[in-house]
Amino acid sequence: MENGQFRRAVYPGSFNPLHNGHLDIMKRAARVFDEIIIAVYEHPNKPQLFDVEERIGLIRESIIREGLTNIKVASFSGLAVNYVKSVGSFVMLRGLRVFSDFEFEFRMALANHRLAPEIEVISFISSEETIHISSSTVREIASLGGDVSSMVPEHVRLALEQRYAELQAEQ
């Protein structure tokens, strides 16, 4: 808390599913801000491996396991800047992996600034240990029966195993 002002930041993303790269950013951000809201994007008409409630459940479990008491989780649809404003925040958090993210995040930050100049985008540089992780990589490896235990928390690994077994049984 600074100048008596409560600092709430919003970390928006797909989190499909949550992985250790996301968790690293969450834990570090939780030390910098009074409260973090993890905002899980609800894709309109686009089926996801885990639906929004499942993604929220997986994040909540990690938050509890890690004892992160100042992190909340919610879903949102529409523009992220509008969601940030709606919860009384002016900070949008993002994570930056090496070069691959930079152009995309830079473009997004400029577009968001045009939409809502009062919102600040704050990016955390990925840690070395998690820089290679993305949800799509995790999904691809898990779908092929590969070991993702070094990339995601154990309950997420189990959820992936179960989901791909279900999908295979349906075929």
Instruction: Rank residues 6 and 111 by Cβ distance to ligand ADP and give the closer one.
Output: 111
User: Is residue 72 annotated as part of the catalytic site, yes or no?
Assistant: no
Q: Under rule CB under 6 A, which residues in 88-117 are in contact with ligand ADP? A: 94-95, 97, 101
Rounded distance between C-alpha atoms, residue 17 and residue 156, angstroms:
7
Residue 12 half-sphere exposure, CB side, CA atoms within 13 Å? 25
CA distances for 171 relative to 26, 141, 142, angstroms: 37, 19, 17
Cα separation, 74 vs 120, whole angstroms: 20
Length of the chain measured in residues: 171
Catalytically annotated residue among 8, 19, 22, 157: 22
Among candidate residues 97, 113, 155, 163, the one labeled active-site is 97
- The reply to whether 17 sits near ligand ADP by the rule CB under 6 A is no
Candidate list 19, 62, 135, 157, residue with the active-site label? 135
Residues at the interface with ligand ADP (CB under 6 A): 13-15, 21-22, 25, 94-95, 97, 101, 126, 130-131, 133-136
Residue numbers annotated as active site: 22, 46, 97, 135
